[in-house]
Amino acid sequence: MEKSEKIFVAGHRGLVGSALVRTLERDGFDHLVTRARSQLDLGSEAAVDLFFAQEKPAIVIFAAAKVGGIKANNDQPVEFLLDNIQIQNNVIRAAHEAGVRKLLFLGSSCIYPKHAPQPIPESALLTGPLEPTNEAYAIAKIAGIKLCQAYAREYGAHFISAMPTNLYGPNDNFDLLSSHVLPALLRKAHDAKTSGARELMVWGSGKPRREFLHVDDLAAACLFLLERYDSPEIINVGCGEDVSIRELAELICDVVGFKGELAWDTTKPDGTPRKLLDVSKVHDLGWRHTIALRDGIARTYEWFLKNPPRDSKPE
C-alpha cells in the first residue's frame, strides 16, 4: 500500500475506526478520508454514491456498524439487522462502482454457529444454527461477507473479509446497558471502588468463555491483511487464548483495585458458551497480537480515567 493512497475509514469514530486512524497516521499514511455521521449518512444510498463519486478512494476499510453487547443485540434485532445490512450494502456497492482497488470488510466471531468446534476454524461458517442473542447481527455480517465474495467472484474485486474476536480498548462504549462485557466490568469495578461498594454485579453464570483482543492489535492486523492478503475467503483475527467471564471479572477487579465480592445476576443471558477463534491462518501468514490481556486492560483503564463516560441509565 502506498503511503499516499487515499484510504476511506468508514466508522472512524468508533472503537475500531479510531484505532485504525491512529495506526494509519502513526505509520505515515497521509491521505485518510473520514466523515462524521452528521456529514455522511451511510444508510443513504444517494449520499454514499455521491461521496464515492466525488472522493474516489483507492482503499476502503469498513469499520462502520451498529454494534453492542449481548443485551442490546437481544433487545433490538430489527436495528441490528436492518441498519447493518443497509450501510454495508451501500458502501460495498458504491466502492465497486467507484473502482476502489481494495476493500476490507470487518465481520465478527459471532457469525459462527453457537456450537462450532473450538477453536473455531474459518470453515465453520454456515455449518449450524447461530446463537439466538446475536442472530440478527450475525446474519447481517454474513450477508456482508457473501456480498464481498460475490463481487470478487463475479467482477474480480479485491474485497477481503476479516473476522475479529471480541475487541476492547480506547473509545469503547462504556454504557452499562449497551456495552460489551469488558468495558461494562471495567466501569462497574471503577464505580464500585470509588463508591466503596462491597459487591460488583456480573451478568450470567460467569462460565462462558471469551477471547479478547486489544483494538490496536486488530488495527495492526487490518494493515497487515490489506498488504498481504488477497483472498475472498474469510480470515480470523484473535489472540488465540480465552478466559471465563469469572476470570475476566477477577482480572479487571485486580487491575482496577476493587477488593469486594463478585455477585451473579443469573436472570441475564450467558449467550454463546465459548467463542475462541482458530487463528492459525493469520499466524501462518506472519501476524501475531502483541498486547497481553492484563496490559491491555490496564491501558484501557488509564484511558477510561482520562475520558470518563457521560452518565448512563442505572442498570
Contact positions vs ligand GFB (CB under 6 A): 69-70, 73, 108, 110, 133-134, 137, 166, 179-181, 184-185, 202-204, 208, 210, 245, 268-272
Residue with smaller CB distance to ligand GFB, 110 or 148: 110
- H helix or E strand, kind and range, residue 160: strand 159-164
- Closest approach of Cβ 249 to ligand GFB, in Å? 7
- Closest approach of Cβ 198 to ligand GFB, in Å? 17
Using CB atoms, what's the residue nearest to ligand GFB? 69
Closest Cα partner for 245 from 219, 270, 277? 270
Residue with smaller CB distance to ligand GFB, 269 or 309: 269
- Closest approach of Cβ 47 to ligand GFB, in Å? 26
Q: Could you give the residue numbers annotated as active site? A: 137
- Closest approach of Cβ 200 to ligand GFB, in Å? 9
Residue with smaller CB distance to ligand GFB, 90 or 165: 165
- What is the C-alpha to C-alpha distance for residues 176 and 267, in angstroms, rounded to an integer? 16
**Cα–Cα–Cα angle for 130, 66, 37, nearest 5°?**
165
Sequence-separated contacts (24+) of 94-97 with Cβ below 8 Å: 94/45, 94/48, 94/49, 94/51, 94/52, 95/52, 95/57, 95/60, 95/159, 96/151, 96/155, 96/157, 96/159, 97/49, 97/52
Residue with smaller CB distance to ligand GFB, 39 or 267: 267
Residue with smaller CB distance to ligand GFB, 89 or 134: 134
- What is the C-alpha to C-alpha distance for residues 311 and 290, in angstroms, rounded to an integer? 33
Residues 238 and 211 sit within 8 Å (Cβ to Cβ):
yes
Residues 210 and 166 sit within 8 Å (Cβ to Cβ):
yes
